[in-house]
Amino acid sequence: MKILITGANGMLAKSVRKRLEKGNELICTDVADLDITDEKAVMEFVTNAKPDYIINCAAYTAVDKAEEAGEIVRKINADGPKNLAIAAKTVDAPLVHISTDYVFGGDLDIEKEYKEEDEKHPVTAYGITKLEGEEKIKENTDKYYIFRTAWLYGDGNNFVRTMLKLGETKDEINVVADQHGSPTYAEDLANIIGEAIEKKIPYGIYHATNEGFTTWYDFTKAIFEYAGIICQVNPVTTEKYIEMMKITQAKRPKNSQMSKEKLLEQGIQIPEWEDALKRYLQAEGKM
């Protein structure tokens, strides 16, 4: 199959490329080759290349900066997916797109989890524009997969790499213990995307994170335990963390757990987050 990947230099895209390189012809583009906000360029590129699938890994992902960045966030997260959806429909190629737990309010009771169709209530510029991106895709093509993921780590700057660095240089650190979610290894999400395409599961929106839930605090303790790092981890509230670090932050979800039932019903395997973390640390030479 001929597969066009946009935002191909990003963290998730690196895993997607690795997962799909065998047996497929990949056309990898990032903003320098194909700016997804340029409607004309997208249509021209797609109609020339005539891909069988388009996988959009491009996004404006800096959650805090997005609060102040203005229209560029909407252009990349909402208009970009719209341009790709229109072009994809023109060549009859399904569009694969990645969204986020930030489309929800994030204030669900801890024992509950979001289902795909639950009410959306984004409270950040990032979440609002990512939800707009989902809606624009739905308005412009029927052949789409939207995978909502969360707490992604892989080959790029991410929480695990930051914690490893801190753990190796500090005796003690403070980590937020009142935000709940599912850490997700980019390789596992790339595999879900690959399987979805290969199995031709029904089009639609799917929640796609690793299985299980944790807090940033417990996640950090697991990183240190598996990597054999001795560093005291202190649990703090989000409020306290912001105060201690003297930072301003976009609002973070307290609980953004998402049910994977819909994906599991399609026979797709989803590894537990602890297992994923161990594989990542091994791949990074830290275990």
Ligand X SMILES: NC(=O)c1ccc[n+]([C@@H]2O[C@H](COP(=O)([O-])OP(=O)(O)OC[C@H]3O[C@@H](n4cnc5c(N)ncnc54)[C@H](O)[C@@H]3O)[C@@H](O)[C@H]2O)c1
Residues that bind ligand X (CB under 6 A): 6-7, 9-12, 30-31, 35-37, 57-59, 61, 76, 80, 98, 100, 130, 149-152, 156
Residues 6+ away with beta carbon under 8 Å from 19: 187, 190, 191, 193, 194
Q: Specify the DSSP class assigned to residue 102.
A: G
Phi/psi of residue 3, nearest 5 degrees: -125, 120
Q: Which residue is nearest to ligand X (CB)?
A: 10
Q: Work out how close the CB of 228 gets to ligand X at its nearest, in angstroms, rounded to a whole number.
A: 25
E runs forming strands in the chain: 2-6, 25-29, 53-56, 95-100, 144-149, 152-153, 172-176, 180-181, 184-185, 204-207, 214-215, 232-236
Q: Work out how close the CB of 80 gets to ligand X at its nearest, in angstroms, rounded to a whole number.
A: 6
Question: Given the complex with ligand X, which of 29 and 140 has the nearer CB atom?
Answer: 29
Task: Give the pair of three-digit tokens for residue 175.
Answer: 């980590």
The whole-angstrom separation of Cα 83 and Cα 153 is 27
The whole-angstrom separation of Cα 81 and Cα 88 is 10
Q: Work out how close the CB of 211 gets to ligand X at its nearest, in angstroms, rounded to a whole number.
A: 16
Q: Work out how close the CB of 227 gets to ligand X at its nearest, in angstroms, rounded to a whole number.
A: 20
User: Computed over its alpha carbons, how large is the radius of gyration of the chain?
Assistant: 19
Question: Given the complex with ligand X, which of 152 and 164 has the nearer CB atom?
Answer: 152
Is residue 217 part of the annotated active site? The answer reads: no
Nearest to 177, CA basis, from 238, 228, 239, 226 = 238
Side chain identity at residue 203, one-letter code:
Y
Question: Given the complex with ligand X, which of 166 and 193 has the nearer CB atom?
Answer: 193
Question: Given the complex with ligand X, which of 97 and 262 has the nearer CB atom?
Answer: 97
Q: Work out how close the CB of 184 gets to ligand X at its nearest, in angstroms, rounded to a whole number.
A: 7
Catalytic pick from 60, 102, 114, 126? Answer: 126
Question: Given the complex with ligand X, which of 5 and 230 has the nearer CB atom?
Answer: 5
Residues with catalytic function: 126
